[in-house]
């Protein structure tokens, strides 16, 4: 049956392959070529390592994305497993609230961070009331961090809840009946079982954070995440070659991380929603 | 069931996270309907900012909807066949194709936009039309539709259904249109809601690719926050929320689909009887 | 084919057709890059153009740097007909060959230093750079009177300036500060040192116009133009002030160009002519800018500006040189001040 089906499958696959070839592969190839044919030539690619400004930006972006991923996973694990396991009045409302920001563009999130932590933000008012000193962190790395966590939680928590649904209660029962404390049950039974979901959703969260632009654009002060640097290169006299080179490097790094995640988690990454 | 201390601790934590996500939204909504943000709610509640937003930005809202619908149509036509192919073939080529199709998620939106501008920016009509932006959106949302459908297609239920259909003698195209598509409806609906939601909110790619004539809602939103009064930007956010909330509610309701076993077999029976009616037992193709 | 599936397929096609048809909504007649509605009251200008010329021009919220970049990126097939930007970007655009020579109506009224001899760019209005202050948001601190004032701890977290590497007003601010503190266009060290000092005071550095944020009090003190401050004061009735710093500042012309190989060159020329006409120039005057044709400034508009004695401290610079050194300064700023 398989051999006979092949021609039909090819026909089905043709449209999407054509579109991807024309509008994705071809432009990316051109981008790679353009990156290497600017004023600096191929050294535009190594400029990421050799120019301190770019290297620092890359480092900052990676560290920020990693930190955001870890914190988001932690928060989502606690809240996600809890919501999946328990039924109580208002549960659905809470779930909606947590997945709600999925659609928000980065700009809106940036301005909400300003509303929370800007000069006239809620947190500033509260801390002034409590301690007399206004806490303003919207325009620093902390503000960016908060914004990134904000849009990462909805993406991650859905996957974790779906995986939590599939956990086998029998295993936990067994562990408990053997005398394990709740903490040990969590550490040794639940967390390992959720590992594939953690890796899958964590990889997506990391990739999204690395490429995020809107939030940094709105909060933009001296924050130097790589997408902002790319944007600045493009608008600073259309230094397209450098912008292209930086984009490619960013894409490669993100792709590598996703690949590592996939090999760690096996094929579950593919089908996970 | 006794509620333990752990339950309440976790509930408290979850509530804290929820308020972290929702409170700023409420603040933004309030700013959008307040007369004067600086003075606060005491200055009065008004809809004039929302009206002004409509005057200034109605076309961006309209364009966003148009692009979202078109994006949905494209991802349906492109994504469902792709998901089916990937569910049938497990070889290296298939995995490579899958990798290729999900690559747009790894490449930052800026890069995709830049690549498209460099390659196709020369075709002025294409460059200045909304279809240019549509291309970016389709590339970005296609993996979500594909994944959603693929998840349904990979279930054991589905495989047995397809084999049942094949054993009855249904041909390839028959199987595809009469069994495959109706039965992954839940995956299609979930994917569709995801695609529309993501398209309406897409900013990274669209910001680079837009022209003054092809501004979408998020782009207009960024504009308004930058150069208009804060109340207008917030009112614009209110309009955005009004558009997006129904979609998100639907996403939540349909996101966990469980089609009944009986419905699956209905399809199979229909197929059996119609195959018998048409008389010929086509060889498996 | 099962009827359910057929319906679905037809619906999908129907959606696509509907979308395509609906998408052909009102097309613009001409495109202007960097014609944002609230900056310099382009909203009114575009309305006047619609009224007098019957042309529909959509708003565009790029800043000067983004405008030039888009023009360069679209060199082979431009989308815009006319462009508006700060003078140094106009000069750069000419050097890059993306604009066309055109002498609009009333060409001779434009002083020599404010136009390219062949017409690749020409000033339409100018503003003076200074401090745009939201008095109430200062929380009791006195209104600053000089650039040096802003380094004081009482203004910590209150000062904002646009990114000098991306926005023209940011660069103009840097030029003004540099000259006020003793530097020249060949040596930006005083400005770099100033920004480094200022960085200790937690400044906010947006990439685009932040008029809204000053009015809302989020950025109490912004390096910005007099016309934005006057707009806040007289049009939006906010408690704001404009301050011309004691050490001095610059007057900055904003220019327009006809884009080379644009889609509608004739319409572009008409638009530029209109902006240089009495009606067009009067719009600027009402928006508190100095129209390049001084005759268009009415006494009533003049009365809303700060007195001439204050404006004595706002003087021009060599704009050509300013354009030449812009890129170098941008690099230096990005590398040294972060």
Using alpha carbons, select from A116, B246, B59 the residue that is nearest to residue C28: B59
**Is the minimum CB–CB distance between C91 and chain A shorter than 8 Å?**
no
Confidence of residue C271 (pLDDT cuts 50, 70, 90): very high
pLDDT of residue A65: 93
pLDDT of residue B261: 43
Inter-residue contact C85 to C168 (CB < 8 Å) = yes
Residue B128 lies in a domain: yes
The residue ranking higher by pLDDT, B179 or A223, is B179
pLDDT of residue C101: 93
The residue ranking higher by pLDDT, A9 or A70, is A70
Confidence of residue A211 (pLDDT cuts 50, 70, 90): confident
Report the residue from A13, A103, A211 with minimal CB separation from B108.
Answer: A211
pLDDT of residue C89: 87
The mean-pLDDT minimum among B8-12, B226-230, C14-18, C306-310 falls in C14-18
pLDDT of residue C32: 92
Class of domain A15-265: mainly alpha
* Best mutation target, A4, A14, A24, A73, to test chain B (most B CBs within 10 A): A24
Token code pair at residue C140: 């009791």
Confidence of residue C6 (pLDDT cuts 50, 70, 90): low
pLDDT of residue C217: 86
> Residues of A with CB below 8 A from C202's CB?
136, 139
Using alpha carbons, select from A70, A64, A30 the residue that is nearest to residue A248: A30
| Total number of domains constituting chain B | 1
The answer on pLDDT for C304 being more than 80 is yes
Is the ipTM above a cut-off of 0.90?
A: no
Confidence of residue C178 (pLDDT cuts 50, 70, 90): very high
The residue ranking higher by pLDDT, B36 or C300, is C300
CATH number at residue B117: 1.10.3720.10
**Is the minimum CB–CB distance between B133 and chain C shorter than 8 Å?**
no
Residue-number span of the structural domain to which B204 is assigned: 59-155+181-255
Domain boundaries, chain A: 15-265
> Residues of B with CB below 8 A from C1's CB?
177-178
Residues counted in chain B: 285
Distance between CA atoms of residues A105 and C155, nearest Å: 32
- β-strands C221-225, C159-160 pairing: parallel
Distance between CA atoms of residues C157 and C177, nearest Å: 19
Using alpha carbons, select from B67, B200, B90, B76 the residue that is nearest to residue B146: B76
Residue B113 lies in a domain: yes
pLDDT of residue A71: 95
pLDDT of residue A93: 79
The mean-pLDDT minimum among A127-141, A177-191, B248-262, C123-137 falls in B248-262
The residue ranking higher by pLDDT, A224 or C2, is A224
Q: Which chains touch A (3 or more CB pairs under 8 A)?
A: B, C
pLDDT of residue A223: 65
* Range C287-307 average pLDDT: 84
- The CA–CA distances, whole Å, from A55 to A37, A214, C307 equal 21, 21, 50
Per-residue pLDDT of C146-174, as tens digits, reads: 999 999 999 998 999 988 877 778 899 99
Residue B161 lies in a domain: no
Q: What share of chain C is helix, strand, coil (3-state, %, to 5)?
A: 50, 15, 35
Report the residue from A13, A94, A115 with minimal CB separation from B28.
Answer: A115
pLDDT of residue A219: 81
Percent of chain C with pLDDT over 90: 41
Confidence of residue A240 (pLDDT cuts 50, 70, 90): confident
Distance between CA atoms of residues C46 and C41, nearest Å: 9
pLDDT of residue B268: 57
Using alpha carbons, select from B165, B134, B126 the residue that is nearest to residue B274: B165
Handedness of CA A200, A206, A208, A211 (dihedral sign): negative
The answer on pLDDT for C41 being more than 80 is yes
Token code pair at residue B129: 């039309």
**Is the minimum CB–CB distance between B178 and chain C shorter than 8 Å?**
yes
pLDDT means per 10 residues, chain B with 285 residues, are 76 88 86 72 76 84 91 92 85 84 84 86 80 94 88 76 80 78 81 88 87 86 76 85 79 56 52 53 39
Token code pair at residue C252: 């900055």
Residue B24 lies in a domain: no
The answer on pLDDT for A74 being more than 90 is yes
pLDDT of residue C4: 54
- The CA–CA distances, whole Å, from C172 to A61, C167, C176, C186, C224 equal 30, 9, 6, 15, 9
Using alpha carbons, select from B63, B71, B212 the residue that is nearest to residue C25: B63
pLDDT of residue B188: 86
Per-residue pLDDT of A242-271, as tens digits, reads: 888 888 888 888 888 888 877 876 644 433
Per-residue pLDDT of C206-226, as tens digits, reads: 877 788 888 888 899 999 999
**Is the minimum CB–CB distance between B135 and chain C shorter than 8 Å?**
no
Inter-residue contact A221 to B213 (CB < 8 Å) = no
Residue B229 lies in a domain: yes
Token code pair at residue C105: 């109506």
Residue B84 lies in a domain: yes
pLDDT of residue B282: 42
**Is the minimum CB–CB distance between A139 and chain C shorter than 8 Å?**
yes
Strand ranges inside chain C, DSSP E? 32-33, 82-86, 99-100, 122-134, 159-160, 221-225, 240-243, 249-259, 290-291, 314-315
**Is the minimum CB–CB distance between A234 and chain C shorter than 8 Å?**
yes
> Residues of B with CB below 8 A from A115's CB?
24, 27-28, 31
């Amino acid at each position: 049956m398989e051999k006979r089906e092949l021609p039909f499958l090819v026909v089905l696959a043709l449209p999407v392959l054509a579109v991807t070839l024309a509008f994705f592969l071809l432009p990316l190839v051109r981008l790679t070529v353009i990156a290497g044919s600017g004023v600096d030539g191929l050294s535009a690619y190594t400029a990421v390592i050799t120019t301190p400004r770019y290297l620092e930006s890359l480092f900052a972006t990676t560290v920020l994305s990693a930190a955001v991923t870890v914190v988001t996973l932690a928060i989502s694990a606690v809240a996600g497993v809890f919501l999946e396991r328990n039924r109580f009045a208002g549960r659905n409302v809470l779930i909606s609230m947590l997945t709600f920001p999925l659609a928000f563009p980065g700009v809106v999130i940036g301005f909400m961070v300003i509303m929370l932590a800007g000069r006239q933000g809620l947190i500033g008012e509260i801390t002034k009331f409590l301690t007399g000193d206004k806490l303003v962190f919207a325009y620093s790395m902390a503000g960016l961090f908060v914004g990134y966590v904000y849009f990462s939680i909805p993406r991650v928590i859905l996957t974790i809840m779906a995986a939590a649904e599939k956990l086998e209660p029998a295993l936990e029962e067994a562990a408990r009946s053997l005398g394990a404390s709740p903490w040990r049950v969590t550490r040794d039974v639940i967390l390992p079982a959720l590992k594939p979901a953690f890796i899958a959703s964590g990889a997506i969260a990391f990739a999204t954070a690395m490429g995020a632009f809107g939030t940094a654009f709105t909060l933009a002060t001296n924050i130097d995440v790589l997408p902002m640097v790319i944007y600045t290169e493009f608008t600073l006299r259309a230094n397209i070659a450098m912008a292209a080179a930086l984009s490619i490097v960013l894409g490669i790094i993100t792709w590598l991380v996703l690949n590592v995640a996939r090999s760690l988690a096996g094929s579950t990454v593919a089908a996970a929603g | 069931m006794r509620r333990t201390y752990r339950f309440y601790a976790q509930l408290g934590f979850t509530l804290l996270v929820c308020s972290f996500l929702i409170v700023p939204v409420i603040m933004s909504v309030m700013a959008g309907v307040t007369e004067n943000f600086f003075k606060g709610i005491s200055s009065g509640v008004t809809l004039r900012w929302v009206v002004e937003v409509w005057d200034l930005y109605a076309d961006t809202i309209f364009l966003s909807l148009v692009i979202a619908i078109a994006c949905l149509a494209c991802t349906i036509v492109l994504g469902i066949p792709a998901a089916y192919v990937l569910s049938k073939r497990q070889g290296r080529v298939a995995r490579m194709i899958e990798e290729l199709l999900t690559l747009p998620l790894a490449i930052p939106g800026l890069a995709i936009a830049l690549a498209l501008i460099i390659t196709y920016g020369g075709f002025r009509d294409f460059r200045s039309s909304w279809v240019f932006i549509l291309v970016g959106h389709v590339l970005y949302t296609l993996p979500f539709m594909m994944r959603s459908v693929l998840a349904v297609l990979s279930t054991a239920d589905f495989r047995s259904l397809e084999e049942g259909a094949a054993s009855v003698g249904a041909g390839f195209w028959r199987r595809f249109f009469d069994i495959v598509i109706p039965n992954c409806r839940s995956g299609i609906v979930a994917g569709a809601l995801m695609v529309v939601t993501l398209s309406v909110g897409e900013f990274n790619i669209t910001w680079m690719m837009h022209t003054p004539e092809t501004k979408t809602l998020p782009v207009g939103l960024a504009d308004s926050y930058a150069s208009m009064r804060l109340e207008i930007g917030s009112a614009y956010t209110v309009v955005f929320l009004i558009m997006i909330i129904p979609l998100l509610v639907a996403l939540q309701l349909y996101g966990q689909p469980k089609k009944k076993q009986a419905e699956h077999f209905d399809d199979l029976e229909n197929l059996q009887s119609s195959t018998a009616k048409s008389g010929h037992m086509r060889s498996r193709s | 084919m099962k009827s359910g599936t057929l319906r679905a397929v037809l619906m999908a096609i129907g959606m696509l057709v509907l979308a395509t048809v609906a998408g052909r909504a009102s097309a613009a007649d001409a495109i202007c890059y960097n014609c944002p509605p609230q900056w310099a009251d382009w909203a009114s200008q575009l309305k006047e153009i619609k009224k007098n010329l019957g042309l529909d021009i959509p708003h565009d919220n790029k800043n000067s740097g983004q405008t030039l970049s888009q023009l360069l990126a679209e060199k082979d097939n431009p989308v815009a007909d006319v462009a508006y930007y700060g003078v140094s970007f106009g000069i750069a655009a000419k050097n890059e060959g993306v604009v066309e020579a055109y002498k609009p109506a009333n060409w001779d009224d434009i002083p020599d230093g404010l136009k390219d001899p062949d017409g690749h760019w020409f000033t339409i209005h100018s503003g003076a750079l200074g401090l745009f202050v939201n008095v109430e948001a200062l929380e009791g601190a006195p209104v600053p009177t000089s650039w040096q004032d802003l380094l004081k701890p009482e203004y910590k977290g209150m000062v904002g300036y646009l990114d000098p590497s991306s926005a023209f007003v940011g660069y103009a601010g840097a030029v003004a500060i540099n000259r006020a503190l003793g530097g020249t266009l060949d040596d930006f060290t005083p400005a770099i040192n100033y920004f480094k000092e200022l960085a200790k005071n937690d400044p906010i550095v947006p990439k685009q116009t932040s008029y809204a944020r000053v009015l809302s009090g989020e950025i109490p003190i912004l390096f910005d133009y007099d016309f934005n401050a006057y707009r806040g004061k007289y049009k939006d009735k906010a408690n704001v002030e404009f301050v011309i710093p004691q050490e001095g500042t610059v007057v900055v012309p904003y220019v327009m160009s006809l884009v080379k190989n644009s889609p509608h060159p004739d319409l572009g020329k008409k638009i530029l002519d209109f902006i240089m006409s009495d009606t067009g120039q009067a719009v600027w005057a009402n928006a508190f800018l100095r129209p390049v044709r001084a005759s268009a400034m009415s006494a009533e508009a003049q009365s809303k500006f700060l007195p001439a004695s204050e404006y004595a401290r706002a003087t021009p610079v060599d704009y050509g040189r300013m354009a030449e050194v812009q890129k170098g300064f941008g690099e230096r700023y990005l590398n040294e001040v972060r």
